[in-house]
Structure 1
Amino acid sequence: MFTKIELKKGVNLYIRQTEQFKTITMSFRWTAELDEKHAANRTVLSNVMQDSNADYPKQSDLRKAMDELYGSVFYMDSGKRGNSHILSLNMECVNDEYLTTDGVFDEVLKMISTVLFRPNVKDGRFDETIVNREKRSVIERIRSVYDDKGRYAQKRMLELMRPDHPASISSNGTEKDVEQITAESLMETYEKMLAEDAVDIYVVGDIQQEELVEKIRSMFNFADRAISTKQFELPPVETKESQQVFEKQDMKQGKLQVGFNTPITFFHPDFPKMQVMNGVLGGFAHSKLFMNVREKESMAYTINSIYSANYGILYVMAGIDAQLEEKAVKMIQEQLSAIKEGDVTDMEVEQTVALLANSIRSAFDSARGQIELFDQYKQLDEDFNAGKLIAEWNAVSIEDIQQMASSIQLELIYLLSGREA
């Protein structure tokens, strides 16, 4: 799918040469161990670096420069996967081949180099005004979770199931950690990122590979760095005794979260089987949860299940009337029990595999989707392609699905509602 070139130890370039798009899409990714304090610093850093740089010290200057490069798109972002925090710089530009002038791609590469190596720094530190503004922006992002009751319920479920664990650590850090960031601490984070993080560079488009490699080598001369080969992998967590937690807020609809633990993680050989099981349980509109709990019994406004493979967690999310909590939980458990007993039709399996395959194929419709997909699955297989994964899904039997359902164990029933519980 991608051709890998090792530029330095811990610094890899992945190229997908394709005529599928009229654009060239790039993504530079820095990966480090996840913890709340570093996550806060790295998220604010991504905002500050996106704001301006030495050549374009004002946000408006940078936006104007991007517009002059035929509307090239530039943004930075941060997120997490497993026990790792990922900071990314993303750029997309029109391929020179489709323009009347040459050199746009080279100018875009120069822009990326400037963003990375010539940030908006005065006297060895980032601009205090910009830092404080971006700190406020990240704090607002953290606080926004509390206004979205569904996201808040999910956050609380993960905190209760996996306290002080990567599963419950926000990729934005905590509000307290963001408040403590200074222009000096942000410079330390920036220097550490450039010197120590694993670096993955992705390029998708109709490009000449040899020429591109030379340009990347000369313009982005990262030093060698020591990198763990299993930076995203976490050991399975033993199932804890199940608990019920009820919390109250000023709201109308109840938010139910039912959390299960499973030893089948992303790196487990049975990972594709668990993906299919989750699809049959609640991953799609034909699933047992959707058809029985929502459609047949009208017990939930919304309901679905999510398999968080990196953390060995499978959870059901439902919007319900709070007084129906016991009935809803019982019905959820009944659907899972039915799967454990083999009450699964060939049609349910076929529909699930078809929808999983479609989700993979649709990712190939965009260069960004191809990068995201490969960046995740290369941890399993650097020769990954969609056909391999689809073949594994097609090989899943009803007996496999039974086995996967039997591996998950209830850990938490959490209800956020507007009533006393």
Structure 2
Amino acid sequence: MFLSTQLAEGVNLHIRQTTQFKTVSFSIKFRAPLNQQTAAERAVLSNVLQHSNGKFKKSAEFRSYLDDLFGTVLYFDASKRGNEHTLLLNVETVNDQYLQQNQVFNEVLELINTAILEPNFDNGAFVPSIVEREKEMVTQRIQSIFDDKTRYAQHRLTQIIRPNHPASISANGTIDTVKQITPESLTKAYETMIHEDKVDIYVVGDIDVEAVQKKLTEALPFKDRTPKKLEQDSNESKPEKDYTKEQQDMKQGKLHIGFSTPVRFGDEDYAKMQIFNGVFGGYAHSKLFMNVREKESLAYYASSSYNSQYGLVYVVSGIEPSNEKKAIDVINEQLDAMKNGEITDLELSQTKAMLVNQLKETLDLARGQIEIFDQYKNLDETFSVDIWKERWDQVTKEDVQEMASQIQLEAIYFLCGKEA
């Protein structure tokens, strides 16, 4: 799918030559071990790099120049996966072959070099006023979770079932860790990222592979580095308590339940767990949706999700507070039914079809191709839709029943109004 080459120790370039798109997409991912401090620093750093650099001191100048490059899109972001934090730069630009003057590609490479390697420094450090402004923006982003009750409930559940664990660390850090950032500490975090992070560079488009490889090597002259080893998360982090009820000014109740599974991404049974989640609550034909929401009318919404990095399954639902006990009972009944092998051929076939369709839809986008390859590249096998379709097709009712039998309840979290 992608042709991968090593540009330096710890720095890899992945190129996919395809006529599928009229644009060229880049994604440059800087990876470091995840903890609260580095997450906060790198979230603020992504904001600071987004809006100015050594060449374009003001955001308006930067955006205007991007518009001049035929609407080139460029943005920084921060995310996490497993025990790893990622600061990324995504760029999408028109392919030169569709222009009369074929200069945009080289100018975009120069801009990528500027955005990453020429920061807007004042006396060798980031500008204090810009740092304070972006700290405030990240703080507001963190605070916004409190206004979205569904996100807040999920955040609290994760804190409860996996305290002091990567699963409960936000990619933005905490408000306290953001407040502690100074221009000097942020500059140090930037230098660490440039010189020590593991780096993956992705390019997708109708391009000359050798030429692009040469140009990127020149545009991003990263030196050898030995990326820090990730600490393996242990299962010693256990729930603080098995039931928590909290009250706020709100009407609809948020019932969130956390389960654990020994199956992680890349395990032999991973495909089976994907099917389990799809039948349990992943889609509109699933047991949770059809029974908790449709049949019993207990929820405004009810679904499940499988976090394969941490071996966790979440059930989320919006309910009337008076329906809490009944909703929990019906949710548990769906899991018990699966443990007893009560899985229809239709549930199984619809889930398999949905997984294949989702994968194909993702691969219709250049960014989707990058993210899929980035996730699956460490499995030491060639990724293809056909391989995964075959794996899902081979999953039987008995396999799904076996996955259900391994699911363990971790904790229940209920957020509701003060009158409940």
**Which TM-score band applies after superposition, normalised by the shorter structure?**
over 0.9
Contact 1:47/1:134 (8 A) holds in 2: yes
Q: CA deviation at 1:269?
A: 1.3
Q: CA deviation at 1:227?
A: 3.4
| Secondary structure at the counterpart of residue 301 of structure 1 | strand
Contact 1:241/1:411 (8 A) holds in 2: no
Amino acid at match of 2:377: K
Map of 1:105-144 to 2, 5 A cutoff? 105-144=105-144
In structure 2, the residue matched to 1:305 is 304
Map of 1:186-225 to 2, 5 A cutoff? 186-225=186-225
Q: Identify if the C-alpha distance between structure 1 residues 116 and 238 changes in structure 2 by more than 3 Å, giving closer, same or farther.
A: closer
| Partners of 1:203 and 1:318 in 2: CA distance | 39
Q: CA deviation at 1:386?
A: 2.2
Q: CA deviation at 1:239?
A: 6.7
Q: Identify if the C-alpha distance between structure 1 residues 228 and 190 changes in structure 2 by more than 3 Å, giving closer, same or farther.
A: closer
Map of 1:234-249 to 2, 5 A cutoff? 234-236=233-235, 243-249=242-248
Amino acid at match of 2:59: Q
Q: Identify if the C-alpha distance between structure 1 residues 56 and 241 changes in structure 2 by more than 3 Å, giving closer, same or farther.
A: closer
In structure 2, the residue matched to 1:40 is 40
Which whole-Å deviations, capped at 9, do the CAs of 1:108-159 have from their partners, x for residues lacking one? 0000001111110111011111111101100000000000000000000000
| Secondary structure at the counterpart of residue 317 of structure 2 | strand
| Partners of 2:159 and 2:234 in 1: CA distance | 18
Contact 1:43/1:138 (8 A) holds in 2: yes
In structure 1, the residue matched to 2:317 is 318
Greater mean deviation of Cα atoms: 257-266 or 235-244: 235-244
| Partners of 1:77 and 1:241 in 2: CA distance | 32
Q: Identify if the C-alpha distance between structure 1 residues 238 and 69 changes in structure 2 by more than 3 Å, giving closer, same or farther.
A: closer
| Partners of 2:364 and 2:299 in 1: CA distance | 33
In structure 1, the residue matched to 2:54 is 54
Q: Identify if the C-alpha distance between structure 1 residues 107 and 145 changes in structure 2 by more than 3 Å, giving closer, same or farther.
A: same
Amino acid at match of 2:163: P
Structure 1 residue 255 corresponds to structure 2 residue 233: no
| Partners of 2:305 and 2:82 in 1: CA distance | 16
| Partners of 2:78 and 2:4 in 1: CA distance | 23
In structure 2, the residue matched to 1:368 is 367
What number of residue pairs does the alignment pair up?
A: 420
In structure 1, the residue matched to 2:277 is 278
Unaligned stretches of 5+ residues in structure 2: none
| Partners of 1:265 and 1:241 in 2: CA distance | 23
Percent same amino acid among aligned pairs? 51
In structure 1, the residue matched to 2:377 is 378
Q: Identify if the C-alpha distance between structure 1 residues 76 and 347 changes in structure 2 by more than 3 Å, giving closer, same or farther.
A: same
Normalising to structure 1: TM-score of the pair?
0.97
Contact 1:282/1:303 (8 A) holds in 2: yes
Q: Identify if the C-alpha distance between structure 1 residues 37 and 240 changes in structure 2 by more than 3 Å, giving closer, same or farther.
A: closer
In structure 2, the residue matched to 1:296 is 295
Contact 2:5/2:14 (8 A) holds in 1: yes
Contact 2:281/2:288 (8 A) holds in 1: yes
Amino acid at match of 2:392: W
Q: CA deviation at 1:390?
A: 1.8
| Secondary structure at the counterpart of residue 54 of structure 1 | coil
Q: CA deviation at 1:261?
A: 1.1
| Secondary structure at the counterpart of residue 15 of structure 2 | strand
| Partners of 1:234 and 1:5 in 2: CA distance | 30
| Partners of 1:404 and 1:205 in 2: CA distance | 40
Amino acid at match of 1:288: K
Which whole-Å deviations, capped at 9, do the CAs of 1:192-218 have from their partners, x for residues lacking one? 000110000000000000111111112
| Secondary structure at the counterpart of residue 379 of structure 2 | coil
| Partners of 1:379 and 1:77 in 2: CA distance | 22
| Partners of 2:240 and 2:214 in 1: CA distance | 56
Q: Identify if the C-alpha distance between structure 1 residues 138 and 345 changes in structure 2 by more than 3 Å, giving closer, same or farther.
A: same
Q: CA deviation at 1:418?
A: 0.3
Q: CA deviation at 1:103?
A: 1.4
CA RMSD of superposed structures (Å): 1.5
Contact 1:233/1:267 (8 A) holds in 2: no
Which whole-Å deviations, capped at 9, do the CAs of 1:346-387 have from their partners, x for residues lacking one? 111000000011000001111011111111122324522222
| Secondary structure at the counterpart of residue 20 of structure 1 | coil
In structure 2, the residue matched to 1:102 is 102
Q: Identify if the C-alpha distance between structure 1 residues 2 and 228 changes in structure 2 by more than 3 Å, giving closer, same or farther.
A: farther
Amino acid at match of 2:81: R
Amino acid at match of 2:345: D
In structure 2, the residue matched to 1:173 is 173
Q: CA deviation at 1:235?
A: 4.7
| Secondary structure at the counterpart of residue 263 of structure 2 | coil
| Partners of 2:410 and 2:363 in 1: CA distance | 36
| Secondary structure at the counterpart of residue 383 of structure 2 | coil
In structure 2, the residue matched to 1:17 is 17
| Partners of 1:239 and 1:340 in 2: CA distance | 24
| Secondary structure at the counterpart of residue 6 of structure 1 | strand
In structure 2, the residue matched to 1:2 is 2
Contact 1:72/1:92 (8 A) holds in 2: yes
Q: CA deviation at 1:237?
A: 5.5
| Secondary structure at the counterpart of residue 382 of structure 2 | coil
Contact 2:163/2:239 (8 A) holds in 1: no
Unaligned stretches of 5+ residues in structure 1: none
In structure 1, the residue matched to 2:153 is 153
Q: Identify if the C-alpha distance between structure 1 residues 75 and 21 changes in structure 2 by more than 3 Å, giving closer, same or farther.
A: same
Greater mean deviation of Cα atoms: 272-281 or 216-225: 216-225
| Secondary structure at the counterpart of residue 415 of structure 2 | strand
Amino acid at match of 1:344: I
| Secondary structure at the counterpart of residue 310 of structure 1 | coil
| Secondary structure at the counterpart of residue 141 of structure 1 | helix
Normalising to structure 2: TM-score of the pair?
0.97
Contact 2:165/2:233 (8 A) holds in 1: no
| Partners of 1:83 and 1:93 in 2: CA distance | 32
Amino acid at match of 1:392: R
